Amino acid sequence: MELTLDFHTDKVYDVIIIGAGPAGSSAAIYTARAGLSTLVLFRAEADGALGVTQKIENYPGIRGPISGYELLRLMREHAKAFGAEFVRGKVIATDLLGEIKKVYTIDGREFKSRAVIIASGAMERTNKYKGEEEFLGKGVSYCGVCDAAFFKDKPVAVVGEDDYALEETEFIARFASKIYLVVPSSRIKAPHEVIAEVQFNPKVEILLHHRVVEIVGSSLVEGLWVQDINTKEKKLLKVDGVFIFLGGNKPSVDFLMNQVEMTDGHCIVVNEEMSTSVPGVFAAGDVLCNNIKQAVIAAADGVKAALAVDKYLNKKTKITAQW
């Protein structure tokens, strides 16, 4: 769970894959096996739709039941065995229009490649809390690495319920005096060992099954009203900061900054080879607004995108199967 901030970024990869779910990991197996230097960027270990799924028993070849995270680990190990590199880093911006594509992560790193596969899934939030926009940058944050140091020896709240939120909580705990971890669900969707690490951190108080009512303050955040979903009791947490790491069901495409053609503002348009409107940029999996959201379909999309990357980079006239 240690965050790496000094990753070597001068290299130009053949392909950067954004997302390490079934789409991204399957694409990485194929690109790495084809001898293409492959970097996979992802937000957190047990992240994305499959990462938070407790039980899978319909993935071909894996009788199960198996946790989504365990299945992901198998896929990632497979890709790593062929040489793919997996690096944790939330992508916040991209520069895709040139021949060399640039991908920027929230902690300030820049990665370069000749092709990009977008496989970032569809788990973005759609709704905002009362007070969230008003206090954005005035105590409300979406990035522990960027902002935790501003809350040295101060109490903060973290709102989230998965591995991504827990990893951020651990980082923020290096600075904050106290963390209220506000979990809207009745359980935290993360591997047991990660939950245990946070549970045993003396700075962290977990408020399970609590919903956020409002973020309050004057010029800066001064508190967070939460409500216990079972008892309906409301209470004010006196905090100087509120970090929000929640998911929803919108495609994760903000980092594309409208460089590729989309419908409805967030559904990427691809052809039958998973190619977007920008040469060298491909997309796969749930991020495509697929009607059928299934791991095996996302994986197959990823494979198609990988074969199309091979065609693009090696200037082939048609896609060739890998045997």
Ligand X SMILES: Cc1cc2nc3c(=O)[nH]c(=O)nc-3n(C[C@H](O)[C@H](O)[C@H](O)COP(=O)(O)OP(=O)(O)OC[C@H]3O[C@@H](n4cnc5c(N)ncnc54)[C@H](O)[C@@H]3O)c2cc1C
Interacting residues toward ligand X by CB under 6 A: 18-24, 41-44, 47-50, 53, 56, 58, 90-91, 119-121, 123, 252, 255, 285-287, 293-296, 298
Instruction: Closer to ligand X by CB, 18 or 226: give it.
Output: 18
Instruction: Closer to ligand X by CB, 280 or 285: give it.
Output: 285
Cβ of residue 225: shortest distance to ligand X, in angstroms?
A: 29
Integer CA distances (angstroms), 294 to 73, 188, 198, 289, in order: 17, 22, 31, 12
Kindly report the number of other CB atoms within 10 A of residue 99's CB atom: 8
176 and 204 in contact (C-beta within 8 Å)? Answer: no
Angle of helix 22-33 versus helix 295-313 axis, rounded to 10: 40
Q: How far apart are CA 231 and CA 95, in angstroms?
A: 48
Cβ of residue 318: shortest distance to ligand X, in angstroms?
A: 25
Instruction: Closer to ligand X by CB, 39 or 158: give it.
Output: 39
Cβ of residue 114: shortest distance to ligand X, in angstroms?
A: 19
302 and 27 in contact (C-beta within 8 Å)? Answer: yes
Instruction: Closer to ligand X by CB, 115 or 226: give it.
Output: 115
Instruction: Closer to ligand X by CB, 212 or 305: give it.
Output: 305
Cβ of residue 253: shortest distance to ligand X, in angstroms?
A: 9
Instruction: Closer to ligand X by CB, 92 or 278: give it.
Output: 92
Angle of helix 22-33 versus helix 68-81 axis, rounded to 10: 10
Maximum alpha-carbon separation in the chain:
65
Cβ of residue 122: shortest distance to ligand X, in angstroms?
A: 7
Cβ of residue 55: shortest distance to ligand X, in angstroms?
A: 7
Integer CA distances (angstroms), 285 to 11, 36, 134, in order: 27, 21, 34
DSSP 129-189: -TTTTTTBTTTEES-HHHHGGGGTT-EEEEEE-BHHHHHHHHHHTTT-SEEEEEESSSS-B
Q: How far apart are CA 278 and CA 50, in angstroms?
A: 28
Q: How far apart are CA 177 and CA 157, in angstroms?
A: 11
Cβ of residue 125: shortest distance to ligand X, in angstroms?
A: 12
Cβ of residue 70: shortest distance to ligand X, in angstroms?
A: 13
Instruction: Closer to ligand X by CB, 179 or 297: give it.
Output: 297
Instruction: Closer to ligand X by CB, 1 or 236: give it.
Output: 1
Q: How far apart are CA 159 and CA 144, in angstroms?
A: 12
First to last CA, the chain: 36
